[in-house]
A and B are shown apart, each in its own frame.
Chain A
Amino acid sequence: MSIKGKAYIAGIYEHPTRHAPDKSTAQLHAEVAKGAIEDAGLTRADIDGYFCAGDAPGGAWPMVDYLGLKVRHIDSTETGGCSYLIHLGHAAEAIAAGKCSIALITLAGKPRTSAMPPRAAGAEADFEAAYGATTHNAYGMCAMRHMHDYGTTSEQLAWIKVAASHHAQYNPHAMLRDVVTVEDVLNSPMISDPLHRLDCCVITDGGGAIVVVAPEIAAKLKRPKIKVIGASEFIKTQMGGKVDLTYSGARFTGAASFAEAGVKPSDIKYVSIYDSFTITVLIQLEDLGFAEKGKGGRLVQDGNLIAGTGKLPFNTDGGGLCSNHPGNRGGLTKVLEAVRQLRGEAHPKVQVKNCNLALAHGTGGSLGLRHGSSTVILERE
Chain B
Amino acid sequence: MAERKLPAPAVSAETQAYWDAAAKGKLLVRKCTSCNQLHHYPRTICPFCFSDKTEWIEASGKGTIYSYSVMRRAPVPYAMAYVTLAEGPRMVTNIVDCDFDKLKCEQAVKVVFKPTEGGGPPLPMFTPA
Which B residue sits closest to A131, measured CB to CB? B94
**In the complex, are the beta carbons of A127 and B41 less than 8 A apart?**
yes
The B contact surface, by secondary structure, is loop
Task: Compute how far the CA of A184 lies from the CA of B124 in the bound complex, rounded to whole angstroms.
Answer: 38
Name the 3 nearest CB pairs between A and B, nearest first.
A140-B69, A241-B89, A240-B39
Q: Is A128 an interface residue (CB 8 A)?
A: yes
**Chain A residues whose CB sits within 8 angstroms of the CB of B88 once the complex forms:** 241
B67 and A126: CB pair below 8 A?
no
For A232-271 the 0/1 string (1 means CB < 8 A from B) is 0000001111110100000000000000000000000000
Interface size on B, residues (CB 8 A): 43
A interface residue numbers (CB < 8 A to B): 121, 123-134, 136-145, 148, 189-195, 238-243, 245, 369
Let me know if B67 and A148 touch, CB within 8 A: yes
For residue B48, give the distance in angstroms from its CB to the closest CB of chain A: 6
* B60-73 vs A, Cβ < 8 Å mask (1 yes, 0 no): 00000011111111
B81 at the interface (CB under 8 A from A): yes
| Contact residues in A for B74 (Cβ distance below 8 Å) | 132
A193 & B89 in contact (Cβ 8 Å cutoff): no
**A130: nearest chain-B partner, CB-CB:** B9
Contact A137 B12 (CB under 8 A): no
Central interface residue in B15, B66, B92, B125, by most chain A CB within 10 Å: B92
- Whether the pair A240, B47 counts as a contact (CB closer than 8 A) is yes
With a CB–CB cut-off of 8 A, which chain B residues contact A189?
72-73
In the complex, what's the smallest C-beta–C-beta distance from A367 to chain B, in angstroms? 12
Question: Across the two chains, which residue of chain A brings its CB closest to B94?
Answer: A131
9 contacts between A and B (CB under 8 A): A124-B41, A127-B15, A130-B116, A131-B80, A132-B94, A140-B70, A193-B68, A193-B72, A240-B43
Residues of B within 8 A of A140 (CB): 69-71, 80
Q: Which residues of B contact A142 (CB under 8 A)?
A: 67
- Within the complex, what minimum Cβ distance (angstroms) separates A300 from chain B? 21
- Number of residue pairs spanning A and B whose beta carbons lie under 8 angstroms apart: 123
A residues less than 8 Å from B105 (CB atoms): 144-145, 148
Interface contact B91-A127, CB-CB below 8 Å: yes
- B89, A130: Cβ atoms closer than 8 Å: no
CA A125 to CA B11, docked complex, whole Å: 9
When C-beta atoms are compared, the residue in chain B nearest to A196 turns out to be B72
B73 with A192: CB separation less than 8 A: yes
In the bound complex, do residue A129 and residue B10 qualify as a contact, i.e. CB atoms below 8 Å apart? yes
Q: State the CA gap A190–B77 with chains docked (Å).
A: 11
B92 cross-chain contacts in A, Cβ below 8 A: 127-128, 131, 133, 369
Given contacts A131-B123, A241-B88, contact A144 B40 (CB under 8 A): no
Across the interface, do A137 and B71 meet the contact criterion of CB distance under 8 Å?
A: yes
Cβ of B8 < 8 Å from any Cβ of A? yes
Are B71 and A134 in touch, CB under 8 angstroms? Answer: yes
Partner of B41, one of A121, A126, A141, A148: A126
Most chain-A Cβ atoms within 10 A of its Cβ — which of B6, B8, B11, B40? B40
Distance to closest chain B CB from A307 (angstroms): 32
**How far, in angstroms, from A131 to B123 measured CA to CA in the complex?**
8
User: When the two chains form their complex, are residues B90 and A241 in contact, meaning their CB atoms are under 8 A apart?
Assistant: yes
A139 to B123, CA, bound (A): 22
Check B89 against A129 for contact (C-beta < 8 Å).
no
Q: Least Cβ distance of B121 to chain A in Å? A: 9
Closest B residue to A239 by beta carbon equals B47
